[in-house]
Amino acid sequence: AQSVSQHNHHVILSEAASLELGCNYSYGGTVNLFWYVQYPGQHLQLLLKYFSGDPLVKGIKGFEAEFIKSKFSFNLRKPSVQWSDTAEYFCAVAGGYQKVTFGIGTKLQVIP
């Protein structure tokens, strides 16, 4: 069975601070990895994804994530956050049959 662990449940940062959200997964086979974002009152949206190739993946709005296979990790980063990045972020893994398993989510609050 696949599982996802997100280390930070609630993060508060000032604008322009750097962000790194931890994500570890467990699965015995090949996985696809995702970060989703949910802005207040909106749908879940895909931020970025990793299927294969370059382990450093760039997504929308200046976010990136690095897949480190040896550590089973897929941490999300942004060099300088903005107030508009306030949202909830979910790491997710899709293994067999494309069933997507989500982490518990991290609420990010950016203070102007």
4 vs 81 by CB, closer to other proteins? 4
17 vs 88 by CB, closer to other proteins? 88
Contacts for 52 with CB less than 8 Å, ≥ 6 apart: none
31 by Cβ neighbours in 10 Å (0-12 / 13-18 / 19+) ranks as: buried
Closest separation between CB of residue 39 and other proteins, Å?
12
81 vs 103 by CB, closer to other proteins? 103
Closest separation between CB of residue 108 and other proteins, Å?
15
Residue 41 per-residue DSSP state: T
61 vs 99 by CB, closer to other proteins? 99
Closest separation between CB of residue 67 and other proteins, Å?
16
Chain contacts with other proteins (rule: CB under 8 A): 4, 32, 34, 36, 42-46, 49, 51, 90, 94, 97-105
List C-alpha distances in Å: 4 to 15, 17, 26, 80, 83.
28, 26, 7, 26, 27
Closest separation between CB of residue 62 and other proteins, Å?
19
Q: Are 96 and 78 in contact (CB under 8 A)?
A: no
